[in-house]
Amino acid sequence: MERDSLELDTLIINVHFSFSQKRSLLANVVSGVSFLSLQHVTDKAKDIIVKHEKALEENPPKSAALKKQYGIQMARLKSPDMPVFEIIVNPVLTGWINKAEAGKCYISLVFVLSNPFSRGTAHITSKDPTTYTGYPWP
């Protein structure tokens, strides 16, 4: 039996042969995501952490709340089990320098620093970084 004669009984329609041969927005979705700690990304994790600790000593936080937040961030950076980087696999050419050539297929790895140096996209209403934002964090 040919694959094209099978009915689409899955939401993962890229597995269907005829659909996967077409060019469409649905064929160009994020195809993989990995969450990695600093220690998984580089063998210089200890050096990076020492550099950040030195910077904090030389430029101490101006408030107790900010000092507390930086302490949490440093603990997360030091933990080999805490993911701080996101690697997204896209089946498209991502970038501004290179131009895509017609008829060629591309894959891009997009690296994102998503944690711990972000308070998310909640609307922050206070200068105190430990103030509850009302955003439902897990």
For position 10, what pLDDT does the model report? 45
pLDDT band at 6 (very low <50, low <70, confident <90, very high): very low
Q: Which amino acid is at 82?
A: M
Mean predicted confidence (pLDDT) in 57-74:
89
d(CA 29, CA 92): 9
CA distances from 134 to 84, 120, 126 (A): 23, 12, 12
Mean predicted confidence (pLDDT) in 38-66:
92
Query: Which 8-state DSSP code applies to residue 100?
Result: P
Structure tokens at 77: 């950076």
Phi, psi of 77 (to 5 degrees): -65, -35
Query: Does 25 score more than 50 pLDDT?
Result: yes
CA distances from 121 to 69, 133, 134 (A): 17, 10, 11
User: Which one has a higher pLDDT value, 30 or 121?
Assistant: 30
Range with lowest mean pLDDT among 7-11, 44-48, 89-93, 113-117 = 7-11
Query: Which 8-state DSSP code applies to residue 117?
Result: S
d(CA 48, CA 42): 9
d(CA 33, CA 31): 7
Chain centroid to CA 34: how far? 8
